[in-house]
Structure 1
Amino acid sequence: MDDWDDIRWFLAVAEHGSTLAAARASRVSQSTIFRRITALETALGLPLFERRSSGYTLTEDGAALLPIAAEIAANVERLTRVAAERQRSVAGTVRLSAPEIVLAHVLPPVIGRFRALYPAVKLELVATDRRVDLASGEADVALRGGLAPTDPSLFGRRLTYDRSVVAASRAYADAAGLPQSLADLRDHPLIRFDPPGAPTALLEQLIACLPDEAVVLRPNTMTAVVAAVRGGLGLGILPRFVVDREADLVHAPIVLPLPVFELWIITHERRRHSAPVRALMDFVAAYVLAGQPPSDA
């Protein structure tokens, strides 16, 4: 049996005496209930009802299975109720760190739905591209881009893959066109992410993609890069997930020589068994998790 809802339809037809009456009471189509009852009988290998002009009557097999089905339905209802009670009982404060661009473009709907399920959990959000120190308690949970953590005291999982793309506003693309190759980038005004501090290996690769003589703007945050690109000031390299979420942005058909971006959610080992921390990590993972690398398109 593939669908536990079939038991609910079995009980509804037994109670109301026909698929039509059960459909009206349940506010679903009669054909749906008929199809699911047939599927349940096929899965069980037993006829549950005798179809008569006056309605549906339980067979001997159906009558024998009815109390078991009722018990299963009661257990499912109890399971749902206990799960909801446990969700409501999860309480505390969780400090979540994430890159500013992830906080702005990925997390808002996730956080809204999490808060609806866990109203007693308070979230403190830290928007930073810096790797916070989880061991010292700068944050309880962190979203990080890059490869898997190598620190054995950190626990987490990869959420998704992404690629960087050359992005432009639709207005800019309509007016100036999009580059078709890396060589074409020198013919466009470029916006390059320029954070404080020594550049990482990934940033050095990104810088190498953008001819210095064509760079006209150097914002120090990725959110500022998004705003400048959206404003039509030039082309910028942005994560694909940002461009896909912005109706005003498009990307050029160029495959950049940059590694695939990985997004991880992690916590310190000593915090992994905290109920609110575990609830947040599981919820974010279930919401964001993507199992396949993106295409080069």
Structure 2
Amino acid sequence: MNWNDLQVFLEIYESKTLRAAAKKLNVDQATIARRLNDLEEKLNTKLFIRSRNGVTPTSHALDLIPHLNTIQQETIDIERKLNQLQQEVIGTVKISTTDSLAIEFITPLIHRLQVKYPKLCIELTTTVETLDLNKAEVDISIRTFRAKEQDLIVKKLAEWEVGLYASKEYINKFGQPNDRLHHRHIVMYQQGILPYQNDRLVGEVVDHSNIITQVNSSLILMHMINSGSAIGELCSYFAKKNNLQRIWPNKKREQNYEVWLAMHKDSYKTKIVRIVINEIVKIFEKL
């Protein structure tokens, strides 16, 4: 016996005629009659007395009705719960990015996601290291260079020009640099942080004796420039956000500042990962 047989039985009982039950279940009357006969044979008992006016349940049928109604309601409740689980966004999505991108874009996103999806958790890692998407160390990676590993889906989110910037306080204190980097207040990334790093700023050779700080954090580099402690390369987006002054507007770094999103193709099949990715893309589309 299966649930479909029991549904036929309940529908015949509620509809009072085979024709009405067939119409309700969207099948022909002969099919309903055959399925009722099959059910009665399986149970080895008569369930309905047929007549010209319809069907009348036997005492055996009446004994079954309360139990079947309970089963039917429980089945409906289970189906509703399963539908809710499919619609709900529950789970953890792991995101890796730089500290400056995390503060500017991801932490505001987390707040909006929490409002829309209260059962979604974001595990946010800020690091200069590239976590392995193929080994599921992270679900979504947002970096300033394009990932080249196999089996990844990548998308460029943004691209900005990179120039040399200083704060107004720095210019007031140390003056505007001439056409050479003679200032002894330069901040740069440590070697190996950027894949395209060299000993130049916006194409100009840097005297290492003029470097006061080498950092491995984009947030610290930006803070050093913004606080008036040093001059350094910065993308136009963050420079404009901090009201920094561009030095030598006609000079720029050869490589633009790019923001790339990457995920493993299997991760993209997961509903909650797709939801987070779509929200991230929306943020950058509005810029």
Aligned AA (1:214): N
| Alignment partners' CA distance in 2, 1:289 and 1:240 | 17
| Alignment partners' CA distance in 2, 1:255 and 1:107 | 31
State the match for 1:229 in structure 2.
Answer: 225
Q: CA deviation at 1:116?
A: 2.1
Match of 1:250 among 245, 250, 257: 245
State the match for 1:51 in structure 2.
Answer: none
Aligned AA (1:250): Q
Q: CA deviation at 1:177?
A: 3.4
Change (3 A) 1:272 1:200: same
State the match for 1:287 in structure 2.
Answer: 283
Aligned AA (2:140): V
State the match for 2:105 in structure 1.
Answer: 106
Q: Does 1:116 align with 2:111?
A: no
Change (3 A) 1:206 1:134: farther
Change (3 A) 1:180 1:91: farther
**Kept in 2: contact 1:159–1:290 (CA 8 A):** no
**Kept in 1: contact 2:144–2:258 (CA 8 A):** yes
Matches within 5 A, 1:40-59: none
Q: CA deviation at 1:199?
A: 5.8
Change (3 A) 1:205 1:256: farther
**Kept in 2: contact 1:165–1:255 (CA 8 A):** yes
Matched residue SS, 1:151: coil
State the match for 2:142 in structure 1.
Answer: 143
| Alignment partners' CA distance in 1, 2:225 and 2:150 | 39
Deviation digits for residues 27-50 of structure 1 (CA, Å, limit 9, x no counterpart): xxxxxxxxxxxxxxxxxxxxxxxx
Match of 2:274 among 266, 278, 283: 278
Change (3 A) 1:155 1:264: same
Change (3 A) 1:285 1:223: same
Matched residue SS, 2:153: strand
| Alignment partners' CA distance in 1, 2:166 and 2:187 | 10
**Kept in 1: contact 2:161–2:253 (CA 8 A):** no
Q: Structure 1: state its 5+ residue gaps.
A: 1-84, 292-297
| Alignment partners' CA distance in 2, 1:225 and 1:276 | 33
What percentage of residue pairs aligned between the two structures are identical?
19
**Kept in 1: contact 2:128–2:193 (CA 8 A):** no
Change (3 A) 1:86 1:110: farther
| Alignment partners' CA distance in 1, 2:173 and 2:251 | 22
| Alignment partners' CA distance in 1, 2:218 and 2:103 | 10
Change (3 A) 1:87 1:216: farther
Aligned AA (1:158): K
State the match for 1:9 in structure 2.
Answer: none
Aligned AA (2:255): P
Aligned AA (2:166): A
State the match for 1:130 in structure 2.
Answer: 129
TM-score by length of 1: 0.60
Q: CA deviation at 1:175?
A: 2.9
TM-score by length of 2: 0.62
**Kept in 2: contact 1:87–1:117 (CA 8 A):** no
Q: How many residues align?
A: 201
Aligned AA (1:92): G
Matches within 5 A, 1:1-297: 89-147=88-146, 149-179=147-177, 181=179, 183=180, 185-194=181-190, 198=192, 200-204=194-198, 206=200, 209=204, 210-247=206-243, 249-252=244-247, 253-289=249-285
**Kept in 1: contact 2:185–2:210 (CA 8 A):** yes
| Alignment partners' CA distance in 1, 2:144 and 2:199 | 15
Change (3 A) 1:177 1:88: farther
| Alignment partners' CA distance in 2, 1:254 and 1:86 | 56
Matched residue SS, 2:216: coil
| Alignment partners' CA distance in 1, 2:200 and 2:131 | 23
| Alignment partners' CA distance in 2, 1:145 and 1:168 | 22
Q: Structure 2: state its 5+ residue gaps.
A: 1-83
Change (3 A) 1:275 1:257: same
Q: CA deviation at 1:285?
A: 0.4
Bigger CA radius of gyration: 2
**Kept in 1: contact 2:157–2:259 (CA 8 A):** yes
Bigger Cα displacement from structure 2, 111-120 vs 88-97: 111-120
